[in-house]
């Protein structure tokens, strides 16, 4: 599993690196020795071939037995792919055995066992089911049988298929994009603009392949005209936009993307998957998709988690990002506890356990609707709660534009990337190097840290500094005169400073002794003439800088550390005005509170 972690070198400072569920979908095999071109043709044929309606067929019975070589029963899931039409049927196996009706036909069975709640592919077997007869499937699993190591320890590339099965199926056990039964998707690796800098774009829009009204070509053209650097078309549970003839640009980096999920459970934003994610089914399958996407170099983010019509209830771990800002900051009402399932509202010692429920409860406790908070403010609460629990996921935003009536890049996400390319942008997201502004003409942010206070920039947004040392932070903002720059430690404001110049920076020192997060935002009082929720307008916000212990485990998770990636430096047209703040300033209340 790829867990979202951070590392670094300079002066003991660490910097952020890489992060760290479903049945069905198109599945194809690449037999050993088959050429890549032939496999690609077979994959394309499999994707386009219509699926059969298996449920109308006469039924037989499939008896499955799943156990280890030492006779320990296993829980699992069997995905039956029809060899006649591509349709998939899934069967759950409890305590090592199951007997289930199955439609007549020839199948390829993909046998998964649950390893700490995540399905892992451990066997591929062809079988036939005949009407009125019994077919059998048995597994005697060697990998992990001793109990000393998990089954996933035998999966080198993290695609949730063990190496033995990959070798038997002719896929590459060291390439997560090459997975048994899954068509490999292309990835545009062109560099459209060289040089590391902040690139701007919209990470959540819709085309006619989803709920939008524009064709892909029209949407791409509108983004080019707006001057964006990148665009992600996120239609629900489909990558159809990436196959559209209009999905091309010489100026925009077009990130392959999709919304994944459902209104009742919530929606994820998936960027750069190399195989088509399985449809949303249950939390274990959702967790599997999250892990596999990241193993392939993609990004798994949570979309607008506190929107009342589609609250986040999947409960999975190891996400890369949270969409904390969707459309207008104050424009959407907050989530209430009544919008959540009863099991999400579970309490321990009188306190809500789930972050999403705690965020919903906080909105209800804020008082009247005028004093309450918007869904976006509530999403930041959810994000802060998760950050405080150890999540290292960056902030992202999206306009949700599906037509010309909704402008693109309001809000806009900035990604610091080594170049303007899809791989470069995905790496920037994985490193946590993002900030959000209300629009292309909104405030510009920079946030850096100097561990050991030796007057050198060690890390930027997404980076990590060590505990128990003096760390000097510099927070900079441009284009925000008349507003306020606020510093937050573990989600709580510790300083709010008026912005009285076009280019201003504040410097403050902390000596963190426990795991902590630091981020900044630009705020102001809400316009009383504008309808909305909450007393505060947010104009920009950053992803965090983290403080935590530097351990061998962190270094082990980043064997290919590039020291050139260990910091991000703000380049301004003129020297900023700097204001020194006292060490450990007292906490301040939010304006209006």
| Cα→Cα distances 102→80, 122, 133, 135, Å | 9, 21, 10, 9
| Mean of pLDDT values over 567-572 | 37
Asked whether residue 538 falls in the same domain as residue 584, the answer is yes
Least confident interval from 38-42, 424-428, 512-516: 38-42
Q: Find residue 262's DSSP bridge partners.
A: 266
- Short-list 495, 516, 507, 509, CA closest to 452: 509
Structural domain span for residue 568: 1-18+440-593
Q: Return the pLDDT at 51.
A: 57
266 compared with 366, residue with greater pLDDT: 266
Is 277 exposed, middle or buried, given 0-12, 13-18 or 19+ CB atoms closer than 10 A? buried
Residue 133 lies in a domain: yes
Q: Return the pLDDT at 86.
A: 79
Q: CATH number for the domain including 160?
A: 2.60.40.1120
Residue 433 lies in a domain: no
The answer, yes or no, to whether residue 569 has pLDDT greater than 50, is: no
Tally: H helices and E strands in the chain: 9, 31
Of 169, 197, 213, which closes a domain? 169
Cβ–Cβ under 8 Å, residues 268 and 300: yes
- Average pLDDT for the chain: 85
Q: Which residue has the tokens 């707006």?
A: 226
| Cα→Cα distances 287→27, 114, 284, Å | 19, 12, 5
Helices (H), 158-310: 163-169, 216-226, 240-243, 283-295
At 286, give phi and psi (nearest 5°). -65, -45
Least confident interval from 127-141, 259-273, 441-455: 441-455
The answer, yes or no, to whether residue 150 has pLDDT greater than 80, is: yes
Q: Return the pLDDT at 554.
A: 56
Q: Return the pLDDT at 47.
A: 41
Q: How far apart are CA 116 and CA 294, in angstroms?
A: 18
Asked whether residue 6 falls in the same domain as residue 142, the answer is no
Least confident interval from 38-47, 132-141, 194-203, 553-562: 38-47
Q: How far apart are CA 305 and CA 109, in angstroms?
A: 35
Residue 511 lies in a domain: yes
Q: Return the pLDDT at 43.
A: 39
380 compared with 13, residue with greater pLDDT: 380
Asked whether residue 85 falls in the same domain as residue 164, the answer is yes
Residue 294 lies in a domain: no
Asked whether residue 158 falls in the same domain as residue 98, the answer is yes
User: HEC string of 481-520?
Assistant: CCCEEEEEECCEEEEEEECCCCEEEEEEEECCCCCEEEEE
Angle (CA) 508 512 518, round 5°: 60
| Mean of pLDDT values over 117-127 | 96
Least confident interval from 236-245, 273-282, 566-575: 566-575
Query: Domain tally for the chain?
Result: 2
280 compared with 40, residue with greater pLDDT: 280
Instruction: Give just the sign of the alpha carbon dihedral 74, 77, 82, 86.
Output: negative
SS3 428: helix
Cβ–Cβ under 8 Å, residues 434 and 395: yes
pLDDT above 90 coverage of the chain, percent = 76
Residue 61 lies in a domain: yes
- H/E segment holding residue 38: helix 36-48
Q: How far apart are CA 524 and CA 487, in angstroms?
A: 14
Q: Return the pLDDT at 573.
A: 43
From the centroid of its chain, how far is CA 592? 33
> Which value, in Å, is the radius of gyration of the alpha carbons in the chain?
25
| Cα→Cα distances 166→120, 162, 171, 180, Å | 12, 6, 5, 6
Among 33-47, 465-479, 575-589, top mean pLDDT goes to 465-479
Q: How confident is the model at residue 317 (pLDDT cuts 50, 70, 90)?
A: confident
The answer, yes or no, to whether residue 89 has pLDDT greater than 70, is: yes
| Mean of pLDDT values over 295-300 | 96
Residue ranges of E strands in 69-206: 76-82, 88-93, 97-103, 105-115, 118-129, 134-141, 193-205
The answer, yes or no, to whether residue 588 has pLDDT greater than 70, is: no
Q: How far apart are CA 215 and CA 203, in angstroms?
A: 17
Asked whether residue 535 falls in the same domain as residue 580, the answer is yes
Residue 368 lies in a domain: no
| Mean of pLDDT values over 285-298 | 95
The answer, yes or no, to whether residue 110 has pLDDT greater than 70, is: yes
Residue-wise pLDDT tens digits, 22-78 = 223 344 443 333 333 333 333 333 344 455 677 788 999 999 999 999 999 999 999
Q: Return the pLDDT at 371.
A: 54
Residue 529: count of CB within 10 angstroms of its CB = 5
Q: Which long-range contacts (CB under 8 A, 24 or more apart) does 523-532 make?
A: 523/483, 523/484, 523/486, 523/496, 523/591, 524/482, 524/483, 524/484, 524/591, 525/591, 525/592, 526/330, 530/330, 532/328, 532/329, 532/330, 532/331, 532/374
Q: Return the pLDDT at 11.
A: 26
Asked whether residue 111 falls in the same domain as residue 12, the answer is no
- Short-list 503, 528, 541, 251, CA closest to 381: 541
Contacts of 355 (CB under 8 A, 6+ apart): 382, 385, 386, 389
Least confident interval from 1-15, 31-45, 142-156, 184-198: 1-15
Asked whether residue 40 falls in the same domain as residue 143, the answer is yes
Among 28-42, 121-135, 364-378, top mean pLDDT goes to 121-135
- Short-list 385, 378, 414, CA closest to 397: 414
Asked whether residue 85 falls in the same domain as residue 4, the answer is no
Q: How confident is the model at residue 552 (pLDDT cuts 50, 70, 90)?
A: low
Instruction: Give just the sign of the alpha carbon dihedral 21, 24, 26, 28.
Output: positive
Least confident interval from 54-58, 150-154, 185-189, 533-537: 54-58
Is 456 exposed, middle or buried, given 0-12, 13-18 or 19+ CB atoms closer than 10 A? middle
Residue-wise pLDDT tens digits, 227-265 = 999 999 999 999 999 999 999 999 999 999 999 999 999
| Mean of pLDDT values over 210-220 | 98
Of 152, 169, 186, which closes a domain? 169
- Short-list 198, 77, 33, CA closest to 542: 198
Asked whether residue 109 falls in the same domain as residue 8, the answer is no
Length of the chain: 593
Residue 110 lies in a domain: yes
Asked whether residue 10 falls in the same domain as residue 60, the answer is no
| Mean of pLDDT values over 459-485 | 94
- H/E segment holding residue 257: strand 257-262
366 compared with 165, residue with greater pLDDT: 165
Q: How confident is the model at residue 555 (pLDDT cuts 50, 70, 90)?
A: low
Q: Find residue 444's DSSP bridge partners.
A: 478
Of 169, 196, 227, which closes a domain? 169
**Mode of pairing for the β-strands spanning 321-326 and 299-302:** parallel
Q: How confident is the model at residue 590 (pLDDT cuts 50, 70, 90)?
A: very low
Asked whether residue 66 falls in the same domain as residue 124, the answer is yes
Least confident interval from 7-16, 396-405, 513-522, 583-592: 7-16
Residue 58 lies in a domain: yes
Cβ–Cβ under 8 Å, residues 236 and 204: no
Asked whether residue 14 falls in the same domain as residue 133, the answer is no
């Amino acid at each position: 599993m790829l867990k979202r972690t951070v590392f670094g070198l300079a002066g003991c400072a660490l910097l952020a690196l890489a992060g760290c569920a479903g049945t069905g979908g198109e599945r194809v095999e690449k037999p050993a020795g088959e050429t890549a071109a032939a496999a690609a043709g077979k994959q394309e044929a499999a994707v386009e071939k219509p699926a059969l309606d298996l449920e109308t067929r006469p039924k037989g019975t499939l008896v499955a037995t799943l156990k280890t070589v030492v006779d320990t029963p296993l829980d699992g899931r069997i995905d039956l792919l029809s060899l006649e039409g591509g349709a998939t049927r899934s069967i759950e196996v409890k305590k090592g055995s199951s007997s289930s009706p199955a439609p007549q036909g020839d199948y390829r069975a993909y046998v998964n066992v649950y390893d700490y709640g995540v399905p892992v592919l451990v066997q591929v077997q062809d079988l036939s089911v005949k009407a009125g007869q019994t077919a059998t499937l048995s597994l005697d699993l060697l990998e992990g049988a001793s109990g000393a190591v998990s089954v996933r320890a035998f999966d080198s590339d993290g695609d949730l298929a063990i190496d033995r099965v990959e070798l038997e199926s002719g896929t590459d056990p060291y390439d997560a994009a090459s997975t048994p039964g899954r068509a490999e998707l292309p990835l545009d690796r062109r560099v459209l603009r060289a040089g590391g800098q902040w690139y701007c774009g919209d990470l959540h829009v819709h085309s006619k392949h989803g709920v939008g009204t524009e064709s892909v070509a029209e949407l791409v053209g509108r983004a080019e005209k707006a001057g964006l650097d990148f665009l992600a078309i996120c239609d629900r549970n489909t990558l159809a936009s990436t196959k559209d003839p209009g999905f091309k640009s010489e100026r925009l980096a077009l990130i392959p993307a999709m919304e994944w999920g459902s209104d009742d459970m919530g929606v994820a934003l998936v960027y750069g998957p190399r195989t088509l994610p399985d449809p949303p089914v249950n939390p274990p399958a959702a967790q599997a998709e999250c892990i596999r996407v990241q193993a392939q170099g993609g990004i798994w983010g949570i979309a607008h988690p506190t929107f009342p019509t589609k609250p986040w209830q999947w409960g999975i771990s190891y996400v890369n990002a949270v969409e904390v800002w969707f459309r207008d900051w104050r424009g959407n009402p907050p989530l209430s506890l009544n919008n959540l399932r009863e099991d999400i509202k579970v309490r321990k010692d009188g306190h809500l356990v789930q972050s999403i429920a705690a965020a919903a409860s906080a909105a209800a406790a804020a008082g009247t609707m005028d004093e309450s908070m918007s869904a976006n403010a509530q999403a930041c609460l959810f994000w802060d709660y998760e950050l405080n629990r150890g999540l290292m996921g960056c902030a992202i935003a999206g306009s949700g534009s599906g037509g010309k009536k909704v402008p693109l890049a309001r809000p806009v996400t900035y990604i610091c990337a080594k170049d303007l390319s899809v791989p470069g942008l995905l790496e920037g997201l994985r490193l946590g190097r993002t900030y959000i502004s209300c629009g292309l003409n909104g405030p510009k942010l920079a946030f850096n840290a100097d561990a050991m206070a030796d007057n050198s920039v060690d890390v930027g947004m997404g980076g990590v500094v060590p505990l128990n040392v003096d760390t000097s932070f510099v927070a900079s903002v441009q284009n925000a005169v008349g507003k306020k720059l606020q510093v937050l430690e573990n989600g709580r404001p510790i300083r709010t400073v008026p912005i009285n110049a076009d280019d201003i920076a504040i410097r403050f020192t902390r000596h963190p002794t426990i795991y902590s997060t630091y981020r900044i935002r630009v705020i102001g009082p809400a316009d009383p003439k504008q309808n909305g929720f909450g007393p505060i307008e947010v104009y920009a916000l950053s992803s965090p800088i983290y403080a935590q212990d530097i351990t061998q485990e962190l270094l082990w998770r980043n064997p290919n550390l590039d020291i050139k990636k260990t910091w991000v430096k703000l380049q301004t047209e003129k020297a900023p005005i700097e204001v020194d703040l006292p060490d450990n300033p007292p906490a301040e209340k939010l304006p209006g509170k």
